[in-house]
Amino acid sequence: MRFSWLAVCWLGALCGIAGIAIPCRIVAQEPAAGVAGGNPNRSPSAASADAASSDETSAAGEAGADEKPEYPTLAEKYLKQVEATFGEPPGMVRLHPHYRVWVDRDKKRVVVDGYVALTAGQLEMFACLAGTKEHESVVAVFSKAQLVHAGLLAIGAKQGTPVQWEPDFKPPTGSEIQVFVLWKDPDGTKKHIDARKWVRQVGTEDKTLETNWVFAGSSFWTDPDTGKQIYLAESGDLICVSNFTTATLDIPMKSTQVNSGLMFAAFTERIPERGTPVRLVLQLLEPKKSADARANIEKRQAKSPADAPRAEDDQF
């Protein structure tokens, strides 16, 4: 599926100050082919119904400047803690006044704030949207999926294609994205880790997710009653560890979403307590640098399995 992109006036003006031309409103030109070829275990109609019934999804097509999100009571409590923990990241452009997502075109990063939603149990997501799939995600973030998508485009990431399950499996594609997590201990000590170190392979004691994510870009569903185009990742499928045709970021390997065959779980011993404010840094890895970056990561992890390349302190 291919998309055309239109700039929203307020966002264009905001980003123009920093020299960033960023599209935000997504308009589909074709039916969502990725949905038609989806996993038979999660039918297109089921995925569409999930998206259509989500409060977040209902406003997915129009991320206007006046739009104020409504979160469950517990998420609202965590939002206040996030706001008290993290200020505006210096030198970055905020994409929406009511959502906690920023871009840094020079360093090719998207930053999005959230909280620890799950510390134990099997996973389908690493990160979902607040108020959606916290029961199967380590982190929940205070953003719309379409804003993260637009931010990735703004830093130069190339959208690929979602997973295809039929007639033959094809893994998701797109620019490689490395994800870091920043947080603070109760004593205020700044902490950081490669997000993959919070995702343990089921059936092992300490083996973690090995691959980075790719920018698959999700897909669209058209509401037959209103004709409205809905970005399907707004149902919660932001950063996935099980393959979904609706994922914004997915892993480029076969990873079932069938409960009996889930491949990943939360690495409990490494994750701070539930509700801890976190800041995710989505770093674009350019193709020519990806191999070297991966080699450096493996070298550091060989010295300290829980360690990860340090994200700059100015991201706090």
Task: State pLDDT tens for residues 82-124.
Answer: 999 999 999 999 999 999 999 999 999 999 999 999 999 999 9
- The residue type of 102 is W
Map residue 122 onto helix, strand or coil: strand
CB-based contact 172:161 (threshold 8 Å): yes
Q: Report residue 286's pLDDT band, with 50, 70 and 90 as the boundaries.
A: confident
Residue 78, pLDDT > 80, answer: yes
- CB neighbour list of residue 38: distance below 8 Å, 6 or more residues apart: 44, 47, 165, 166, 245
- The residue type of 152 is L
**pLDDT tens profile 295-312:** 665 555 444 433 444 444
Per mean pLDDT, which of 57-61, 107-111, 184-188 is the most reliable? 107-111
User: Which burial class, exposed, middle or buried, applies to 234 when counting CB atoms under 10 A from its CB (0-12, 13-18, 19+)?
Assistant: buried
Residue 27, pLDDT > 50, answer: no
Measured distance CA(219)–CA(33) in Å, rounded: 8
Residue 104's CB: how many other CB atoms inside 10 A? 23
